[in-house]
Structure 1
Amino acid sequence: MPLTPTGEIVAAAATRRHAVAAFNVITLEHAEAIVTGAESAGQAVILQISQNAVAFHHGKLGPITAAAAAVAASAAVPVGLHLDHVTSEALLHEAPAHGYTSVMYDASDKPHTANVAATLAAARFAHEHGMWIEAELGTVAGKDGAPPLPAHAPGARTDPDEAAAYVAATGVDALAVAVGSSHAMTDRTAVLDHQLITALHHAVSVPLVLHGSSGVPDQQLRQAVAAGMVKVNIGTALNVSYTQSIRDFLTGDANRAKPTVDPRKYLTRAREAVTSTVAHFATLLANPPSGGRRSAAGPSGESVTLQC
């Protein structure tokens, strides 16, 4: 089916009181595995290509985007295409021409006033070009190898009043918040502040986004969705599955008389491992605990229906 706008997928998840998984794409195999896993789970999904992934592909946005979009177009479930953690205005301005329906513009490392100004400008550009836009307030640590922040460090948690003012001032469509997770975690030991998630959900008028979700245990993720998270970003967990499957294959292959040289042999294993990981998270996020405090309305109060 054609690409589904990210905003529609997120709004539908909010209506159903569950969350949509947004998975990071680095290679074609990632995109194929994400879509296959989402189809297995029967859930909509968002393919995310980050600014770091674009840098890996020699700074060229077009080729990896075209590959991901082609995979999405053949999917049996709704798939959105999202440009993630953009700090470059030039890259932001490329996005519409490549078919992106959404972008996460990240000015969170700037002083607050500069963050607001830069995000407002990005939101105006995005909306002028029909894109849904996400931003971040607070510091979700672990970006580019940075260590996690101590729990009580400045910026380690997003303040609900500041979040409400930030959304009103910038006009963004979704807000990534700092509630205890961290990027690039390879063990699942993060402890979320669920009371804060609930407070943020009641304070802001747009969907909440959880970054650094690979390090969050399953039950904590389910509780976070029940408390108000609507979009959940997952990247490192896929790479752990991908890399471990290749490592296991090559370790077992090393002592053979004729070791494998065809990358399709181990990339097939990697793709299958990522597919399984995606199916797990997509199913998990679609089934939060009952009795949560979420509203059944979409982010702007409307009821939204999306078949998936």
Structure 2
Amino acid sequence: MPLTTTGELVTSARAARTAVAAFNIITLEHIEAVVAGAEAAGEPVVLQVSENAVKFRQGRLLPLARAAATAAETAAVPVALHLDHIQSDPLLRQAADAGFSSVMYDASRLPYTENLAATRAAVDWAHAQGLWIEGELGEIGGKGAHVPGARTDPAEARAFVAGSGVDALAVAIGSVHAMTTRTATLDHGLLRRLSTDLDVPLVLHGSSGVPDAELTAAVAGGITKVNIGTALNQAMTGAIRRFLDAGPETVDSRAYLSEGRAAMAATVERLVRLLTGV
């Protein structure tokens, strides 16, 4: 079906009090797996390309973006494209021409005032291009989840949303990027305050390390977009490792990549069902 927009998917999820799953993609197998898993669940999904993924692809955005757009346009469910964790202004400015409907501009590493100014400039540019834009306040990586000052402050968040004009806000409530164990505990009291105080959709990053019960509670508490990356890589790498351990003579990459793709698709379907309640 035609490529949809992240804003439309998030708006629909918010109205239904569910969350849209947004998966970070690196290879063509990631793209195919996310679409297959979403189709199996019968629910929409967001394909995300991060700045780090672009670096891995030798700094070229278009090859992965074009593959994602083609897969989205032939999918049986609505699929949107999102450019994730962008710190580079030149990369940000490629978003619209590359087919992305939205971008997450990440200036959270900067002091509050500088984050606000940089995000405001990014928002002004993005809105002029018709792009939906997500910002971040607090620190989900770097400092870790529990260091004082790392979590999103509700009063700062209100001022940040008003001053920046972002369409959605990624909040730091206890999740951490790149976790390989699902042991994160979220601050649901803080999430309730943020959800009450803010009039924009809230986004959870670092969701691969969050247990199922914590994820469903987060959605009930106001999270509307859930970013997932490491869980896919764990599924893919684990399946490939098992396949090659059982058949070390294998040299045809299609054999083990098929296993990796299937494992990722199963992970996508499970998480999409969890977040949407289907």
Could you tell me how far 1:157 is from its partner in structure 2? 1.1
Partner of 1:24: 24
Partner of 2:170: 176
* Aligned mates of 1:116, 1:234 — CA distance in 2: 26
Secondary structure of the corresponding residue to residue 134 of structure 2 = strand
TM-score between both structures, scaled by the size of structure 2: 0.98
* Aligned mates of 2:121, 2:151 — CA distance in 1: 25
TM-score between both structures, scaled by the size of structure 1: 0.89
Partner of 1:96: 96
1:47 matched to 2:47:
yes
Q: Encode CA deviations 1:61-110: one digit per residue, 9 max, x unaligned.
A: 11010011111111111101000000000000111111110000000001
Which segments of 5 or more consecutive residues in structure 2 lack a partner in the other structure? none
Partner of 1:294: none
1:191 matched to 2:185:
yes
1:200 partner amino acid: L
2:144 to 144, 148, 151: 148
Could you tell me how far 1:152 is from its partner in structure 2? 4.0
1:219 matched to 2:213:
yes
Pick closer, same or farther for the CA change 1:53–1:152 going to 2, 3 Å. closer
Secondary structure of the corresponding residue to residue 84 of structure 2 = strand
2:268 to 278, 298, 301: 278
* Aligned mates of 1:51, 1:235 — CA distance in 2: 13
Secondary structure of the corresponding residue to residue 104 of structure 1 = strand
* Aligned mates of 2:4, 2:226 — CA distance in 1: 17
Partner of 1:293: none
How many residues were matched structurally? 278
For the aligned residue pairs, the C-alpha RMSD in angstroms reads 1.0
Q: Encode CA deviations 1:184-225: one digit per residue, 9 max, x unaligned.
A: 000000000011111100111100000000000000000000
* Aligned mates of 1:243, 1:165 — CA distance in 2: 42
Partner of 2:245: 251
Paired residues for 1:54-65 under 5 Å: 54-65=54-65
Could you tell me how far 1:148 is from its partner in structure 2? 2.4
Q: Among all aligned residue pairs of Structure 1 and Structure 2, give the percentage whose two residues are the same amino acid.
A: 57
* Aligned mates of 1:164, 1:148 — CA distance in 2: 23
Partner of 1:34: 34
* Aligned mates of 1:33, 1:202 — CA distance in 2: 36
Could you tell me how far 1:161 is from its partner in structure 2? 1.1
Secondary structure of the corresponding residue to residue 96 of structure 1 = coil
Give structure 1 regions of 4+ aligned residues with deviation exceeding 6 angstroms: none
Paired residues for 1:62-77 under 5 Å: 62-77=62-77
Secondary structure of the corresponding residue to residue 47 of structure 1 = strand
Q: Encode CA deviations 1:264-290: one digit per residue, 9 max, x unaligned.
A: 0000000000000000100000029xx
* Aligned mates of 2:69, 2:238 — CA distance in 1: 27
Could you tell me how far 1:147 is from its partner in structure 2? 6.3
* Aligned mates of 1:32, 1:67 — CA distance in 2: 9
Could you tell me how far 1:153 is from its partner in structure 2? 2.0
Which segments of 5 or more consecutive residues in structure 1 lack a partner in the other structure? 289-308
Secondary structure of the corresponding residue to residue 254 of structure 2 = helix
Partner of 1:118: 118
Secondary structure of the corresponding residue to residue 224 of structure 2 = strand
* Aligned mates of 2:40, 2:192 — CA distance in 1: 31
* Aligned mates of 2:169, 2:18 — CA distance in 1: 16
Pick closer, same or farther for the CA change 1:78–1:98 going to 2, 3 Å. same
* Aligned mates of 1:166, 1:122 — CA distance in 2: 14
